[in-house]
Structure 1
């Protein structure tokens, strides 16, 4: 677990994660509204030489082209539908995932089924200092640390 006291630290944490990513990686981000999920993704993107990342809340999914492309998904609006798994399938994420890094905000059980190799990150903002915890699933993430 990492303790994060500012948006700058959250961005820096994302950059450290991003520096370790490779094609096909899946990251699931969870945390309340305002926890810092998109800031973390911006740090990941910076490590991939991508700028201008914003929350895809209203467009659901956005692809950023780079040497290692980033698929950034926000399923918050899909969760409210009660059919998140069905709508997530409609996004056709399997098509490009093997050549990209995929980061899914609000990546709950519906998203976990996309891969048995994933990094699950939870941001707890129950007090001023956020607590970021990591669940490394699968051999790909063995030995991961930041």
Structure 2
């Protein structure tokens, strides 16, 4: 694990901006695990990733479980495991996306996944601090995930309302 840092986001717009920064840096084969309570900003962050990739219609896959978005660079698979128990998660076949050469997998509620990948993982834990403020705790494993994390850390300064802690 090379990258480990924290970022404060003081608005939904800043959270979405941080997602855009990450979206510009993501490479195929990276899995992004998004942990945090309801309302912590996980989906706003993914919407920012979608903005960077040219998708303005990214929405939470709470009921569809996985949404796929094809970009010129890779397939973005966005999974929401909130409504599933571990057995239900196993049936989704997330392993097919994780580490795939042409996909980036973003998973909300990853603690429900019994077998998350061990390589090329960007762990993002979002904590709520006040009504608008969120704290991102970011850790990466693997070269491509490290590169994405480094870009997020460097780009945070370009997001009004966000700052490194």
Normalising by the residue count of structure 2, what TM-score does the alignment of the two structures yield?
Answer: 0.78
Task: Report deviation, 1:138.
Answer: 2.6
Q: Is the 8 A contact 2:34 2:108 kept in 1?
A: yes
Task: Report deviation, 1:96.
Answer: 4.2
Query: What CA deviation, in whole Å up to 9, does each residue of 1:61-116 have, x standing for no partner?
Result: 111122122100000111xx3xx1x3222112233441111100011262662342
Task: Report deviation, 1:11.
Answer: 0.4
Q: Decide which of 15, 40, 57 is 2:20's aligned counterpart.
A: 15
Counterpart CA distance in 2 for 1:114 and 1:18 is 20
| Paired residues, number | 141
Q: Select the structure with the greater relative contact order (CA < 8 A; seq sep ≥ 6).
A: 2
1:72 correspondence with 2:73: no
1:74–1:3 CA distance, 2 compared to 1 (3 A): same
Match of 1:91 in 2: 92
Match of 1:122 in 2: 125
Normalising by the residue count of structure 1, what TM-score does the alignment of the two structures yield?
Answer: 0.87
1:134–1:58 CA distance, 2 compared to 1 (3 A): same
- The alignment's C-alpha RMSD in Å is 1.8
Structure 1 gap segments, 5+ residues each: none
Q: Is the 8 A contact 2:27 2:144 kept in 1?
A: no
Counterpart CA distance in 2 for 1:136 and 1:109 is 19
1:101 correspondence with 2:101: no
Q: Decide which of 45, 54, 66 is 1:61's aligned counterpart.
A: 66
Moved over 4 A (4+): none
Query: What CA deviation, in whole Å up to 9, does each residue of 1:6-32 have, x standing for no partner?
Result: 110000000001111011110000111
Structure 2 gap segments, 5+ residues each: 1-5, 153-165
Match of 1:32 in 2: 37
